[in-house]
A and B are shown apart, each in its own frame.
Chain A
Amino acid sequence: MDLKDLYRDVILDHNRQPRNFGAPAHSDAHAEGHNPLCGDRLTVWLRFDGDRIADIRFEGKGCAISTASASLMTEAVKGRDKAAIKELYDRIHVLLTEPHAAADASLGKLAALGGVSEFPARVKCATLCWHTLNAALEHSADAVSTEQ
């Protein structure tokens, strides 16, 4: 295993300077994620424009993989709708868990997380933010349904 493959420059950069970091003044939905095994905690806030994510922010304490993954995720999902996010997550899952997955150009910068698949103990670090995003999307669905 090669450390450089896990800690690529993009990962280190997003760890040091996470994008879309910090609680927003207003949000339509949010969710908290927690990985009790390693103590990682993460909150994701969403603002919607119809079905699309108009803005997304996150805050949390975690390792470089979890922080960079969340940061990259916020950049990748902004402007997308739920169906597109679900499809993106399925591709990410392949990237994170299948060591010999074919390169997927549609992933853009997220492809930098490809090294994680060689480190099975770290997959959960990279997926925490996606599960949290999913929970936030579901909360928003709940909120909508209770208002109707």
Chain B
Amino acid sequence: MATALAAPPGNFDAERVRHDFPILQQHVNGRALVYLDSAASGQRPLAVLRAVEHYETHTHANVHRGVHTLSQAATDAFEGARERARRFLNARSTREIVFVRGTTEGINLVAQSFGRARLGRGDEILISALEHHANIVPWQMVREQTGCTLKVAPINRRGEIELDALLGLLSSRTRLVAVAQVSNALGTVVPVERIVQAAHSCGALVLLDGAQAVAHMPIDVRALGCDFYAFSGHKLYGPTGIGVLYGREELLEEMPPWQGGGEMIRTVSFERTTYNDLPWKFEAGTPNISGAVGLAAAMDYLESLGLEALAAHEQHLLAQATAALERLPGIEIIGTAAHKAAVISFTMRGCHPHDLGTVLDSQGVAIRTGHHCAMPVMTFFDIPATARASFGCYNTEADVAALVAALEKAREVFG
């Protein structure tokens, strides 16, 4: 990190990237918008907006259901997006790519299809203490439905999963390990490769919540070795309402559908219904076609930026912001893992995160405040909420400076 501080990466031009995002060209409360909330949702580049618009103005019809030209073109666009997502994740086959509404729906799919059908009393699901509610509540529901046990691996004061404790909780009873690759509340990058290895050696499957990872690092599900991987399009500069669940084909093949309806069937009679092939077996109803098109465009866009260069740029901003916040009196950074993504959670003495959020907003600086859908993390640190600044491809050193100036303003108001 020290080297990143000393030498800003020269090969990433965030100023140019900013021009791709029309929403950033506005003033909020009389100030140029400084958007530091990409961990909640990324903004969309023109390439995504145009791809969606082109689809809506030229191509739209329902998919897989007609012989007419538009229906065929829409089907090609939708299935083309699936192939794009396969490449993005380096999955073996498009049969392993299920379109869902987002991370939340992807995890619920695994919980209800795999969990509900396969787990019972004596079986264990292992999660960690830094999970988003989306990777907690679906497993609690499975616990209620099946009588299985839910175990939670602890975190330390830096906000890292205690790896030894996690490994100690693994046993032959563990059927599934579900962890985030990157924590949204703390920024911690979790050593998921180690966890996958250990889980597999116990015979357990692994689901990775990739919501906070996909915009910051190249993802290769085969190299990771995970069994399931879920993410949301809107976290990687794509549309809302679309995401992907990757699942290994052999597993998806054996899992029962979780919703019934059109698309997911082959034949229906009142006596008996046969299900469609993968991945459509898991896609009941008309899907979010334009969302998938936008997601594919977002993946093109993100990869065109160069994920390595982007990561270096974000790490530079993270190091710079961390150093600046550490110098500000009364600021405490929550989440100080050795390996972090471009997320800084913090509190300011004498100023509640919500007041901080309002003061920063008055200065045009958009951050997230609250529990970040990770109440157990807040409980662990014994705080009701944090303020969180997160950085993306369009953020610059000037944004870090604006954040610091706005925090100084808050100090001025709250004394």
Contact = CB atoms under 8 A, between A and B. Distances in A.
B384 A64 contact: no
A65 B385 contact: no
B384 A41 contact: yes
24 contacts: A1-B29, A1-B362, A3-B413, A7-B355, A7-B413, A12-B414, A16-B415, A37-B370, A38-B385, A39-B370, A39-B371, A39-B385, A40-B384, A41-B384, A61-B384, A62-B384, A63-B353, A63-B354, A63-B355, A64-B355, A65-B354, A65-B355, A121-B358, A122-B358
Interface residues of B, number: 20
Interface string B347-358: 000111111001
A2 B358 CA distance: 11
A12 B385 contact: no
B359 interface: yes
Interface in A50-103: 61-65
Given A3-B359, A3-B362, A38-B354, A64 B371 contact: no
Interface residues of A, number: 21
* In the A-B complex, the 7 residue pairs with the closest CB atoms: A39-B384, A63-B352, A63-B354, A39-B385, A64-B355, A3-B362, A63-B355
Interface in A1-37: 1-3, 6-7, 12, 16, 37
A113 interface: no
A3 B361 CA distance: 10
Contacts of A62: 352, 384
A3, A12, A40 — most chain B CB neighbours (10 Å)? A3
A12 B369 CA distance: 20
B411 to A, nearest CB: 13
B1 to A, nearest CB: 31
A38 B355 contact: no
A38 B359 contact: no
Interface in B320-358: 350-355, 358
Nearest to B384: A39
B378 interface: yes
- The binding surface of chain A is classed by DSSP as mixed
Contacts of B370: 37-39
A129 interface: no
Interface of A: 1-3, 6-7, 12, 16, 37-41, 61-65, 119, 121-122, 125
Given A1-B362, A3-B413, 12 more contacts: A1-B29, A3-B362, A7-B355, A12-B414, A38-B384, A39-B385, A41-B384, A64-B355, A64-B414, A65-B355, A119-B358, A125-B354
Nearest to A119: B358
Contacts of B354: 38, 63, 65, 122, 125
Contacts of B385: 38-39
B3 to A, nearest CB: 38
A63 B29 CA distance: 22
Interface in B283-322: none
A64 B358 CA distance: 11
A52 B415 CA distance: 37
B378 A39 contact: yes
A40 to B, nearest CB: 7
A34 B369 CA distance: 17
A2 B361 CA distance: 11
Contacts of B355: 7, 63-65
Interface string B379-399: 000001100000000000000
Contacts of A37: 370
B350, B359, B370, B385 — most chain A CB neighbours (10 Å)? B385
Contacts of B353: 63
B28 to A, nearest CB: 10
B402 to A, nearest CB: 16
A7 B353 CA distance: 14
Contacts of A38: 354, 369-371, 384-385
B117 to A, nearest CB: 32
A1 B31 CA distance: 12
Nearest to B369: A38
Contacts of A122: 354, 358
A10 B43 CA distance: 39
A37, A61, A64 — most chain B CB neighbours (10 Å)? A64
A7 B352 CA distance: 13
Contacts of B378: 39
